Structure 1
Amino acid sequence: MANTRTSETAYHRLRKQAMATSTRHYNARGISAIRCERCQLTSSHCICAHLQSADCPAEFVLIMHRDELFKPTNTGRLIADCFPDRCHAFLWDRLSPEPALLALLADPARQCVVIFPGDEQGERKVLSEPVADGRLLTLIFLDGTWKQGRRMYNLSPWLQGVPALKLNPAARARYSTRVAAHDNYLSTAESAALALDVAGHCRQGEQLINYFVVFDRHYAAMRKNVALTVER
């Protein structure tokens, strides 16, 4: 594994682009804190020393709500951190998505699946596992709040033909920075780890979960303004 603490991921590039074109300032609790530019946690709780990248047989596509880019609680960026050469990131636009995103979705060499709790009685096809047909598995994540994610899932005409991949929420990791309204409301990083497990890429899923747990522990301590305990 190679350390990637200094590399710029697709998430960081997208965030820079959004900041350059933003017409309003993002304000939220903790906005005045001095944060690590990469991991967005304070220097006393920075997780960059724990970051190790690895290759992955699958690729990832983060379709991000604009507000999500600026939230320190965002976990989609953990996917980009762990698999920087296998992750793409785009801002969501209901009617005018990026041409590069449309080209990716239309690539016949890819098997694209959207990771979202699909309605098996609905019109969209729901898979219990990816199809083993030699195409590049491409996992698509709608990165935002659950209200935003459902809107993105239902109201994006260019995404309607992409099947959903069913996950097992009972296998979820612990995530204490947000309170989910329902058991199947997983964070983006948790969803990615479970999707990797479903696809048979358990080693990569475990790596992502381990990094996610570090983030969760550090963020919770930072939020409570307490020092990190030493793990033995």
Structure 2
Amino acid sequence: MARSVVLRGVPRCPHCQIAPRWCVCEGARAVALPFALDVLMHNGEVWKPTSTGNLIRRVVPASRRIVWHNQCLPRREDVVGNGGADALWILHPRGEALEDVLRDGLDGLEQPQAGAGALKNLQVLLIDGTWSQSNEMLRHVDGWGRKVRLPVSALRGESRYWLRVQHSAGHFSTIEALIALLNALDCANESDTIRGQFEMHVYASLLARGHKTRAAQFLAGSPIGASMPGLVRKLQPAPARD
């Protein structure tokens, strides 16, 4: 959705940013992650209710949103945490394979198999924007940490981000990349909770746009029908009258 539409005053829930009829705040679940999470967000995403970067900020309250603007670039010292560059992963498809990074190990970071506490020194930076915007942002933060890519097995099938057209196979939203990372690090509970919040966000947004048939198709392949049945029933449109 363009920023002009948002600024025009369309009524929205102040939290989930969806029209009140399809508000999903009733099903909101906050998630605590075993590592520090930052989202480097292009300023063009800040005003978009559909942004999964904004969704991450709501679902993971401890995460930071760092807005990237070419007139006000973020500084390295404001992003890289106390663990330094050795403990910062920049998630991007052009990075090193995650399995190789885990095999090598990082200073102060143990293997995740030792338990969630072993990830406490890790900082993950997600890049949120279009693919061209993301490449521009990546050039700016290149060298701040270790670029890491997810294994192919972590991103199977097609994107569930039905709110925007995926211009190429294998393109996934920012929050889907986070879900895949959590799965790869054996953080199944956190992954499942975030996935449920993401899928509910997409489902409600499709309904808010009037895409009833598409929303029904999305729901058929979603876990939210079982995990949040009450909210799903509440959001479903009333049956047509004869």
CA-CA distance at 1:112 after TM superposition: 1.6
Indicate how the Cα distance of structure 1 residues 38 and 79 shifts in structure 2: closer, same or farther if over 3 A, else same.
same
Q: Which amino acid aligns with 1:228?
A: L
2:16 maps to 39
Indicate how the Cα distance of structure 1 residues 163 and 225 shifts in structure 2: closer, same or farther if over 3 A, else same.
closer
| CA deviations over 1:3-60 (Å, ceiling 9, x no partner) | xxxxxxxxxxxxxxxxxxxxxx931479442111111111111111111113221221
With normalisation by structure 1, the TM-score equals 0.74
Q: Runs of 5+ in structure 1 lacking a partner?
A: 1-24, 119-123
As a proportion of its length, which structure holds more helix?
2
Q: Which amino acid aligns with 2:201?
A: F
Question: Within 2, Cα distance between the matches of 1:194 and 1:49?
Answer: 25
Give the SS at the match of 2:4: coil
Indicate how the Cα distance of structure 1 residues 184 and 225 shifts in structure 2: closer, same or farther if over 3 A, else same.
closer
Indicate how the Cα distance of structure 1 residues 76 and 110 shifts in structure 2: closer, same or farther if over 3 A, else same.
farther
CA contact (8 A) 2:92 2:148 kept: yes
| CA deviations over 1:114-143 (Å, ceiling 9, x no partner) | 22211xxxxx54433644524522221111
In the alignment, is residue 228 of structure 1 matched against residue 235 of structure 2? yes
Aligned residues: 198
1:53 to 30, 54, 58: 30
2:64 maps to 88
2:125 maps to 140
2:42 maps to 65
CA contact (8 A) 2:86 2:145 kept: no
CA-CA distance at 1:192 after TM superposition: 0.7
Q: Which amino acid aligns with 1:92?
A: W
Question: Within 2, Cα distance between the matches of 1:173 and 1:31?
Answer: 30
1:13 maps to none
CA-CA distance at 1:144 after TM superposition: 1.0
Question: Within 1, Cα distance between the matches of 2:200 and 2:13?
Answer: 15
1:116 maps to 92
1:200 maps to 186
Residues 59-68 or 171-180, more deviating:
171-180
Give the SS at the match of 1:163: strand
- Higher-Rg member (1/2): 2
Q: Runs of 5+ in structure 2 lacking a partner?
A: 111-117, 213-233, 238-242
CA contact (8 A) 1:197 1:205 kept: yes
| CA deviations over 1:39-92 (Å, ceiling 9, x no partner) | 11111111111111132212211001011010011011222222212x111112
Q: Which amino acid aligns with 1:91?
A: V
Question: Within 1, Cα distance between the matches of 2:32 and 2:6?
Answer: 35
